[in-house]
Amino acid sequence: MRRLLVLSSISALIATFATVNAQGLFGFRLLKLDGEHVVWSTWQGEPKVTHVTYAYVRTRTDTPGAINCQSIGPIDPILERSNLDRTDFRDEVRAAFDMWESVANIRFTEIDDPSRAGILIGAQLEPFGRAFTNVAYRPGDSDRRAIERSIVCFNPEQRWKIGFDGDLDVYDIRYTAAHEIGHAIGLDHPASGGQLMHYKYQEKFRTLQPGDIEGAVLLYGLREQPTDVHPEPRVHSASATSAAIRE
């Protein structure tokens, strides 16, 4: 979960996203690659919903030139070393995708074929650190470049767990996956702590924090709430919205 790349300056953010309120500037930071923000632009439908696929790699997958996750393989060594069940691991990663899906107008779908997936997930073949994300984008002339593929990789030689137990040397899969997915969709480490996207692993919360949500909503828009066929009294729908955001 090390700092990935060159950090954007506050003044650049103000210039590009003038509508962001001051608090947001400290709660999140957009990833900037080679001077430009990056975002998935795989829109479908109206209103625009961004659809991103993901897959677990099945064989050695090399990405020459990648800064992170250059060589990855199946997650099996992670499961073996940390004694984790495959279904449990995948459920935790899915829960991490759901966190972002529940707040922003972006949807993630798992597919079988890694060669067609937007986000690849695997175990590092050259173990280092804890977990990393590599973000590749297409060159373009807009102020936001289109992400082409992101790779999330876990170090199989580290111990991993599901849930919090206060041991900050063993990272929770869901928390770590949610953090890395944040990078995979265009977020960087915020300057201030107290957010899931902060670079420091902590076990104070297991859901997205206000700054994380603001960043995702800025990039993809606020999640459109489904039309309620049988409208509930106002107080009920308000609590449902709150539950969706706070999990």
Q: Which is nearer to Zn ion, 74 or 208 (CB)?
A: 208
**Cα(89)–Cα(7) distance, integer angstroms:** 31
Contact flags string 164-203 toward Zn ion, x per CB under 5 A: ----------------------------------------
CB of 142 to Zn ion, least distance (A): 25
User: Does 152 help bind Zn ion (rule: CB under 5 A)?
Assistant: no
Q: Which is nearer to Zn ion, 30 or 74 (CB)?
A: 30
CB of 4 to Zn ion, least distance (A): 6
**Cα(32)–Cα(50) distance, integer angstroms:** 20
Half-sphere exposure of 49 (CA within 13 A, CB side): 15
Contact flags string 1-20 toward Zn ion, x per CB under 5 A: x-------------------
The continuous run of DSSP H or E covering 79 comes out as helix 76-82
Q: Which is nearer to Zn ion, 105 or 160 (CB)?
A: 160
- How distant, in Å, are the alpha carbons of 6, 101, 151 from that of 116? 29, 20, 13
**Cα(61)–Cα(119) distance, integer angstroms:** 13
How long is the chain? 247
Q: Which residues contact 35 (CB under 8 A, 6 or more apart)?
A: none
**Cα(116)–Cα(114) distance, integer angstroms:** 5
CB of 2 to Zn ion, least distance (A): 7
CB of 187 to Zn ion, least distance (A): 9
Q: Which is nearer to Zn ion, 35 or 129 (CB)?
A: 129
Q: Which is nearer to Zn ion, 1 or 72 (CB)?
A: 1
Size, binding site for Zn ion by CB under 5 A: 1
CB of 92 to Zn ion, least distance (A): 17
CB of 245 to Zn ion, least distance (A): 22
Q: Can you spell out the DSSP letters for 105-166?
A: SEEEEE-S-GGG-SEEEEEESS--SSEEEEEEE---SSSEEEEEEEEEEE-TTS-EESS--S
Q: Which is nearer to Zn ion, 1 or 93 (CB)?
A: 1
Note the residues at the interface with Zn ion (CB under 5 A): 1
